[in-house]
Structure 1
Amino acid sequence: MARTASALHILVKHKEQAEDIIAKLKKGAKFDVLAKKHSTCPSGKKGGSLGEFEKGDMVPPFDKVCFSGELFTPHLVKTKFGWHVVKVLYRT
């Protein structure tokens, strides 16, 4: 069972905006460019990078995707902060 993960994310207020970002990613848009343009999280300035974190560090719905979702695939996650587009890079 993985204890740490690394992920990128883009935080937005509306589900439709998050779905639009996922569509752009599937068409080849760069994650870091979209994060810098759209994310309301401070990590957006770093291309959405959250670095490495431990299981349990993030809110439960976000944590679940990071530790069980498919790697390198954009996932849509709703939390108390808004809608996240999450791309899990690795788990250790």
Structure 2
Amino acid sequence: MARTAHALHILVKHQEQAKDILKQIQKGSKFQTLAKKYSSCPSGKKGGDLGEFRQGQMVPQFDKFVFSGEILTPTIVKTRFGYHIIKTLYRT
């Protein structure tokens, strides 16, 4: 059976902006509110919610973090699309 995960993300073009957003999250700002404000991904309208997806559906760097990184700890990951702040909610 394929592994699945559920994640939120915020996509921005510049590393400095990603770092600034991550700092805001660490200071207590709501992830979903910042996603709606800053994310260039259509999922931003849903608070960055990507829903549940299978391993291998996302670009390699994104996939690797979601399926092996920390759960519930927002982290910056660079892909060909830009800089993602990813928060993995769970994985199976």
Same fold (TM over 0.5): yes
- Secondary structure of 1:6's counterpart equals strand
Q: What residue in structure 1 maps to residue 35 of structure 2?
A: 35
| SS class of match (2:67) | helix
Aligned to 2:5: 5
Aligned length: 92
In structure 2, how many angstroms separate the alpha carbons of the residues matched to 1:34 and 1:76?
14
Match of 2:57 in 1: 57
User: Counterpart of 2:43 in structure 1: which amino acid?
Assistant: S
Distance 2:64 2:23 in 1: 22
Match of 2:19 in 1: 19
RMSD: 1.2
TM-score by length of 2: 0.97
Name the structure 2 match of 1:79. 79
Partner of 1:48: 48
Which structure 1 residue ranges, 4+ long, deviate > 6 Å from structure 2?
none
Unaligned 5+ runs, structure 1? none
Helix, strand or coil: the match of 2:53?
strand
Give the Cα separation in 1 of the matches to 2:54 and 2:79: 18
Q: Unpaired segments of 5 or more residues in structure 2?
A: none
